Amino acid sequence: MALSSIQIKQILDHLDNCQRPLFFFDDDQDGVCSFLQLYRYKKEGKGIIVKTTPKLGTFFVNKVEEYEPDKVFILDLAVVEQEFLDEMKVPVIWIDHHGPFERENVKYFNPRISKWEDNHPTSYMCHQVVQQDLWIAAVGCIADWFIPPFLNEFKNEYPDLIDKPYKGVGDIIYNTRLGLLTRIFAFILKGKTNDVMKSIKILTRINSPHEILNKETAQGKFIFNRYAEANKIYEPLLNEALETAKKAEEKLAIFKYSDDRTSFTSELSNEAIYRFPDKIVLVAREKNDEMKCSLRSSKIVLPPLIEKCLVGLEGYGGGHEHACGLNIKTRDFEEFLRRFKELI
C-alpha cells in the first residue's frame, strides 16, 4: 500500500507548488534514490545529504536559513528533532518508513502510522508520486531489501539487468546487474561529502543505467570509476569477513577491522548474512575509540536486544527488525558482546 492516492496527490501538490525546494536525504541508496526522483521531476532546488547521523537536528537549521527555500523535503531520515521543526518558517514535508514518531509543524508521510508492518522504502513512495525514472526507484528499493510491485515492469524495460531467476531480494543483489548497480550507488556515497555530492549531481543528468554499467558516456564512466576505486578496498575486506563467518563456531559471527576513511560495515554484513543466513552477523569498524557496527539476522528481531544490551553502556543503536546499526565506545564493546551472546 505505502502511500494512499490522497497522500500521493498531497505530496505532488507540494512538489508542484514550490520554486525553491530544499531536500534533506539519508546517505544510503534509498535516500539518494528518493532525492534523485523528486529532483529530476522538479528540476529545481538543492539537495543536502545527511552523512553524520540519520537524524535531522538544529545543526541543520543554518543550512535552511542560508538557502532560503520556499519548502523543505525530508527523505528517508529516521529521526527529525522537534527543535528543528520549530525553527522552520516554511512548509516541511517528511517522507519516511522508520519510526513512526509524533511531531508538530510538519506534513508527515509514513506508511507505518496506519500499518506498523508496512515498510515500503522511501524511494518506492517517491516513485508513487512522480511515476518516472523506474531504474532509479528499482535501485533504491532493491538496495533496501524490498522487491517492489513494479519489478516485472522493470524487467520488461531492462531485461539484461535481471537475467537470472531469483527466489529473494538477495539473489537480485548478488547475482544480477541490477544488484551491481545497487553496489555502485552504495560505493559512490562513500568518502568526502563534496565528492559524494559531485557524484549525485552527475546522477541527476544520467538517463539510463546502461550509461553507468556499460560506461557509455563520460558521466557514466565517472560514476563507474568511483565505484571501482572503492571496490578495491571492499573486496579484500569481504573475503576476510566471509572467511570469518564460515569459520565461526558460535551463532554470532564477529568481524572487526580498522579504517579511518571508509565504512563498509553495512555492505559487509549484508553480504555475509546472505551467504550465511543461519548466522547472526556483526561487523565492527574501530574508529576514534568507538566501534561502529552493523548487525544482521535472518530470523531474530534485533532492536529490542540491542536496546537491552546497551543499558548502562555508552552507545546507541537501532534500525529495522533484522538490520541494525550500533555505535559503542571501544571500552564497552566486549561487555555488549557478552550480554548479546547471552540473549541469543
Q: Mind giving me the DSSP string for 298-334? A: SSS--HHHHHHHTTTSSEEEEESSSEEEEEEEHHHHH
Q: How confident is the model at residue 125 (pLDDT cuts 50, 70, 90)?
A: very high
Helical axes 29-42 vs 193-203, angle rounded to 10°: 50
Report how far residue 304's alpha carbon sits from residue 174's, in angstroms, rounded to the nearest whole number. Answer: 29
Fold classified for 5-224? inorganic pyrophosphatase (n-terminal core) (3.90.1640)
Question: Domain ranges in the chain?
Answer: 5-224, 248-343
Cell match 521531476: residue?
41
Report how far residue 152's alpha carbon sits from residue 271's, in angstroms, rounded to the nearest whole number. Answer: 24
Report how far residue 205's alpha carbon sits from residue 207's, in angstroms, rounded to the nearest whole number. Answer: 6
Q: Please provide the distance, in angstroms rounded to a whole number, between the alpha carbons at the two ends of the chain.
A: 33
Helical axes 177-187 vs 265-275, angle rounded to 10°: 150
pLDDT score of 324? 94
Contacts of 100 (CB under 8 A, 6+ apart): 108, 110, 112, 113
- Residue 263 in grid coordinates: 565504512
- Mean pLDDT computed over 1-8: 94
Is the pLDDT confidence value at 1 over 90? no
pLDDT score of 52? 72
Do the Cβ atoms of 120 and 2 come closer than 8 Å?
yes
Mark out the alpha helices in the chain (DSSP H runs).
5-16, 29-42, 61-67, 82-86, 122-130, 134-143, 151-157, 169-175, 177-187, 193-203, 209-213, 218-247, 265-275, 303-309, 330-343
H/E run at residue 282: strand 280-287
Q: What's the whole-model pTM score?
A: 0.92
pLDDT score of 211? 99
Report how far residue 49's alpha carbon sits from residue 200's, in angstroms, rounded to the nearest whole number. Answer: 10
pLDDT score of 55? 86
Long-range residue pairs from 300-309, CB within 8 A, at least 24 positions apart, any chain: 300/344, 305/340, 305/343, 305/344, 306/340, 308/339, 308/343, 309/336, 309/339, 309/340, 309/343
- Residue 289 in grid coordinates: 575509540
Q: What are the pLDDT digits (tens) for 234-284?
A: 999 999 999 999 999 999 999 999 876 789 999 999 999 999 999 999 999
pLDDT score of 320? 82
- Mean pLDDT computed over 92-101: 95
Do the Cβ atoms of 234 and 265 come closer than 8 Å?
no
Q: What are the pLDDT digits (tens) for 169-203?
A: 999 999 999 999 999 999 999 999 999 999 999 99
- Mean pLDDT computed over 300-308: 96
CATH of the domain spanning 248-343, picked from 3.40.1080.10, 3.30.70.1230, 3.10.310.40, 3.40.50.2300: 3.10.310.40
Cell match 543499558: residue?
311
SS3 258: strand
Q: What are the pLDDT digits (tens) for 30-67?
A: 999 999 999 999 999 999 999 877 789 999 999 999 99
Give the chain's length.
344
Residue 97's φ and ψ, nearest 5 degrees, are -135, 20
Q: Which amino acid is at 252?
A: L
Do the Cβ atoms of 340 and 276 come closer than 8 Å?
no
Mean pLDDT, the chain, rounded, equals: 96
Instruction: Give the chain's radius of gyration (CA, Å).
Output: 20
